[in-house]
Structure 1
């Protein structure tokens, strides 16, 4: 968790993020004494006309400064056994989560291990989908997926117990969901990552990395810094900045 003093509003941070780090999910929220701004790259779960989708993103490299460096970083990512193991774990977890609420035989992976690029990082991405079972709805859909395996690990219940034992500070909104539900029961939610949370002139940023047996702690620390960079840069550029 990164903590800093802040002057001004996170709405200015949101405006900067729209320019410097355009992402599939851009959001700003304020209520009473809190503000949240973010640019999440990752869907939690999407429900459209009884079709359920989740899009695991795992495996990370920074973006290259040139096209050639970018290509080499992509090749390095796709050759990294640790990153591939992490991604496969999350694809399997997504299949299991979607399978709990989908018609038997309808769950499939229709996009597997593509490279997805954003302004500061690239990820390995896949798509898992299924057909929603009769008598299930958007609430069942959210319940089957939350918390995202990307943020909890597997098996989920034991992983969450370990998180509670090891982490000194509660995660709050980080790793939860932000999105909408429409009047027909469709929904679209993202994982609450790449966000800034502000209260009482303090701003908080959380980042994390997936830990598997082959993880190298120093590499995971570098990954966390890469993930935090977009929001940190936006905070520095926004009116008032950070101290």
Structure 2
């Protein structure tokens, strides 16, 4: 089965995906009041969020290197499973690869950019090079809202990858069960045919012996 042969590649996909979901969950206390709370978000919450983002962006180089290595491991697992793909791999792993690349795009385009803006502390009018650009560039609160929304989008993408991998496991498990049931049915049918042929052969032999005994008695 493709799932058994690619079990290590599946492990390389699931572990980074769960790792990234854990990171996003750690940011959920900052994202929830901005996106989902019905109460007006206080200005101090944006200060806390911005301070946390600055702390993350100022982390030692080892931290982003580990993060990028984990990203590469997930991508390597998907590419490995798509090497000489079956129909199941093309459907589930192909869709997982598309979602994974969407997640990488969101990370590079929104999250990394948002971390740089928060670290620099420059938004909106501070980045405008002309008076016309002041209304076109997002301010501080809007930029942090975009970053929080990007975290939510990335979480949905990662959950989609987990759902696809679970769907692949379930589909291949059902195929294995159907194959085993068909094989058992063919085996029972073959054994029934063998027993019938054995019974026919024994009956013919018995009839032959009876006929020989009758000839001897005559």
Which range, TM-score by smaller chain?
under 0.3
* More helix by percentage: 2
TM-score, reference length from structure 1:
0.24
User: Whose Rg is larger?
Assistant: 2
